[in-house]
Amino acid sequence: MREEKVFADLLYLIHNIIYGGDWKVFGIGEDNLEMLLKGFDEGSMVLILGHPGAGKTTFAAKILYRNCRSGGVKCVYVSLAEDRDKFLRYMGRFGIDLDTLERKGIFEFIHMPTFAGKDLVESVTSVLSAKIVSEGFRVAVVDSVTPLLNALTTDEARSYLHATLYNLVRSSQGLLILVADLPYGKETVDLRGLEFIADAVFVFKTRVERGLITRFMEVRKFRGRRIPIVEIPFTIAEDEGVRIILSPPLEEIPVLTEKPAMESPCSELLWGPMPRGTYIGVVGKDAPVFYTTFKVLLDLALKSNAYLALLSFRMPSSEMKRLVHHIAQSLGQDIKSVEELIKFEQGVNPSIYSCYEVMGILRQVIDRDPDILLLHGTEMLYLYHPSRYIDRGLRDLALYARRKGASIVEFVSGLFSKKQLARYSMIHLINLDEHSKVVHTVYRHVPIIVNGKIVGAEPRRIYEEELLKCIKQM
C-alpha cells in the first residue's frame, strides 16, 4: 500500500511540473475513488453528509491530506467540535500525518468556539476569508456546517452559501469541503438548499445487519462526471482511513502469464505452471485438504523465494505458526529461513466482521505485497455470511490480487459450488476413490498458453502416494 501511495504522489508531482503548478483538479484522496471520479475541479464546493461514526470526518481529512502533502497546497481544517490534539491524534491512527504538515507551515487546524446564532456564521466566514483570500490557502474544510445552517433561515442560508461561501471558493479556484451531520436512521436532512449548490455530494451511511456494522458511501452528485456506481461499500482501515471496496476494471487486469511463473518439482506435478496472479481453490469434499498440499505450497515458496501471507478463518495465527514449523521440519528446512518468507500471518474470526469488512481485511493483506496469499478455512465465511456476498467478494479479490501480481491458494472443506468457479483459475479437488485412497484432481477453469502451448485443457489426476513420494525426494 505504501508503494501505491508513493506512486499516486509521484503522478501528482509530475502533473504539477508539467502544468507549472496550475492545478485543474484536486485529488479525492482514495485511490480507487480517484480512478472512478477523476478528482474535484478547481473552484468546487463538496458536501460530505453522514451518520455519526460513519467516516465523514476521516474522509474529509484524507482529501485535505492528499492535496496538502502531494500537491503542496496550503490547507486549513476549521472544526466546530474537536480540539486540535484529539483530532491530530485520531487522524494519525489512519496514516494521516497532519502534525508533520503543520510543522512545515502548509496545514493549519482552527478550533472555533461555539458562538450563538449568527455570531458563529460571521466568525467562520471571517476565518475562511482571511485564510483563503489573504493567506492563500487552497483547500478548506468546515466540520461541521450543521450549526451554521441551523442559525439561518432557509432564504438566509441559501444567500449565505451561494453569495458568500460558493463565490469565495470559485474566486480562489480552491476546494471547500463542508461536513454535515445526518441523524441515525435518516437518509436526508434539511440542508437549507446546500445540496443544490454543492458540486459534489457524498452521503456516508451505516447499517446494522445481523448485529454487524456495514458502511456505505453514496455518491448522490458529482458535477461534470459520470457516476457509474452510486452506493459503494467501504471500510475504515488502520493506517489508511476510508477504503472503498470496488471491483477493479477488467481492462486493468494483466494476462495471467504476463509475469514469470513460480516453479518446483512437486507443484509442477500437481498444478503445472503457476503464473503469478493464479487463484487455486483447494476443495476437500470427503478428504483432508490441508497438510500434504501445504507441504507442496511451502516447498514452492522456498524454491521460488516467494513471500507468503497466511490468513485463517479457522485457527489463530499461533496455531498456524506451529503448523508451519512442523511442515518445515518435515521438509528438512531451517525454520528461520521459512519464517523469513512469511510476510504476514493472522487469524480472523468472521463472526465479528461484516462481509465487506472481511473483504477489506483481505485487500489490506494483498497490499503487503505477498507473492502468495494462503486462505485457510474459507468455509467459515459461509457459516456467518450470505453466500452471494462471499462469492462476489472473493471474485473481486481474485481480480485485485491478479492486478497486483499476487497468487491466492484457498483451502476450503466440504463446500463446492459452480459460483466458486468465478474466482478460481484452477480447481484442485481432493477426494477418496472407491478404495479409500486420496486422489487429487486438478482442473484449469480456463486453459492458459505457456511457451506457445495450451496448458490445462485436460484435468490432472494424482494420487496422494505420488505427491508424498515427490515430497520425500525433495
Q: What is the pLDDT along the chain (474 residues), one digit of tens a residue?
A: 444 444 444 444 444 443 344 446 899 989 888 888 889 999 999 999 998 889 999 999 999 999 999 888 999 999 998 899 999 999 999 999 999 999 999 999 999 876 666 788 888 889 999 999 899 999 999 998 988 888 877 777 777 777 788 888 888 999 999 999 988 877 778 788 888 889 999 999 998 888 888 999 999 999 988 888 889 999 998 888 999 998 888 888 888 766 678 889 999 999 988 889 999 999 987 656 678 899 999 999 999 999 999 999 999 999 988 988 888 888 888 888 888 999 899 999 999 999 999 999 999 999 999 999 999 999 999 999 999 999 999 999 999 999 999 999 999 988 778 888 889 999 999 988 888 889 999 988 776 666 666 666 688 899 999 998 998 887
Residue with cell 466546530: 80
Which residue intervals of 38-153 are DSSP H helices?
Answer: 56-71, 84-92, 98-104, 118-129, 146-150
- Tell me how long the chain is: 474
C-alpha to C-alpha distances, 345 to 223, 307, 308, 316, 359, nearest whole angstrom: 44, 12, 9, 9, 16
In 182-259, where do the E strands start and end? 200-209, 212-222, 231-237, 241-244
Residue with cell 456495514: 214
Question: Angle 2-18/56-71 helices, nearest 10 degrees?
Answer: 50
Contact 428, 281 (CB under 8 A): yes
Contact 228, 214 (CB under 8 A): no
Going by C-beta distance under 8 Å and a sequence separation of 6 or more, which residues neighbour residue 299? 264, 266, 267, 331, 471, 474
Task: Delineate the domains of the chain, giving CATH numbers in brackets.
Answer: 15-246 (3.40.50.300), 251-473 (3.40.50.300)
Give the CA-trace dihedral at 471, 427, 255, 259, to 10 degrees.
-10
CA distance 13 to 384: 45
CA-based end-to-end distance of the chain: 36
